[in-house]
Amino acid sequence: MLKVGDAAPDFSLPSAGMHLRSLGDYGTALLVLYFYPRDDTPGCTLQATDFTEMINQFAAAGAQVVGVSQDGRSHACRRFGIEYGTANCCLGQP
Residues catalogued as catalytic: 44
| Nearest by Cα to 39 from 31, 30, 48 | 48
**With contact defined as beta carbons under 8 Å apart, do 66 and 91 qualify?**
yes
CA dist., res. 63 & res. 56, Å (int): 9
Alpha helices in the chain (DSSP H): 42-53, 55-60, 74-84
Q: What gap in Å lies between CA 32 and CA 88, rounded to an integer?
A: 10
